[in-house]
Amino acid sequence: MVRLPLTPAEVERGQRLGALLRRARGCRSMLDVALASHISPETLRKIESGRVATPAFPTIAAIADTLGLSLDAVWAEISRAERTVEDQSALPVTRHPSLVS
């Protein structure tokens, strides 16, 4: 099965997810969080660095649980920037009064 290339929005969302998890991990070691989440440290490293932009849901659920994050909070945080861009694109185009005849 051929995987379609990720869209720029998916790549950006993956980067935001990785940054969120990295911040939430704080001073805990990557090894400790990975083992507590039942994933490999390499998997966690790839997610945190944004190299895995669309990790499996159970993987994110396990990491979020280990870090004490709700999945709702994770989704709200990583989708916030998307909503901002979408909201801005929905704004009507306004013209400067001197350009309107």
Would 30 be classed as within a structural domain? yes
50-87 per-position pLDDT tens digit = 999 899 999 999 999 999 999 999 999 998 766 655 55
Would 58 be classed as within a structural domain? yes
Would 82 be classed as within a structural domain? no
Would 41 be classed as within a structural domain? yes
76-99 average pLDDT score:
60
28-51 per-position pLDDT tens digit = 999 999 999 999 999 999 999 999
pTM: 0.76
Would 96 be classed as within a structural domain? no
The three-state (H, E, C) secondary structure of the chain, written as one string = CCCCCCCHHHHHHHHHHHHHHHHHHCCCCHHHHHHHHCCCHHHHHHHHHCCCCCCCHHHHHHHHHHHCCCHHHHHHHHHHHHHHHHHHHCCCCCCCHHHCC
- Count of domains for the chain: 1
Max distance between CA atoms of the chain, in angstroms, equals 66
CATH number for the domain harbouring residue 31: 1.10.260.40
Compare 88 and 20 and report the one with higher pLDDT. Answer: 20
Would 98 be classed as within a structural domain? no
Would 44 be classed as within a structural domain? yes
